[in-house]
């Protein structure tokens, strides 16, 4: 079932969707091309992410790409543990738009 029309996101859900910005060397290089990377919940959809970014930051989003990162299996003092899975969203902004991720929402 495909949804038609714009997606509406409440203020609380919008804040919940954008958990934190990803600040790495790769995401910093992408910011030169009007892209911002956020950590989002595993159940977040692309239309929800787009609506949340547009609502919270008052910018125009052209595209949203997502990636699901599986958690690594690591050892600590001989015991095996697993890091949690997470999802990243790379948000492309319209020309002339920008988001300063170093400040709070």
pLDDT of residue 2: 66
Instruction: Pick the closest to residue 33 from 78, 100, 101, 91 (CA basis).
Output: 91
Query: pTM of the entire structure?
Result: 0.85
C-alpha–C-alpha distance, residues 53 and 99, integer Å: 10
What is the tens place of the pLDDT at every residue in 41-79? 999 999 999 999 999 999 999 999 999 999 999 999 999
């Amino acid at each position: 079932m495909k949804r038609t029309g714009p997606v509406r996101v409440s203020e609380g859900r919008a804040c919940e969707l954008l958990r934190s910005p990803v600040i790495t060397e790769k995401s910093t290089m992408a910011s030169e091309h009007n892209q911002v990377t956020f950590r989002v919940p595993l159940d977040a959809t692309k239309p929800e992410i787009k609506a949340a970014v547009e609502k919270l930051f008052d910018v125009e989003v052209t595209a949203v790409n997502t990636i699901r990162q599986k958690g690594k299996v690591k050892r600590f003092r001989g015991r095996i543990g697993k890091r949690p899975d997470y999802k990243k969203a790379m948000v492309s902004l319209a020309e002339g738009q920008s988001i300063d991720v170093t400040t709070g929402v």
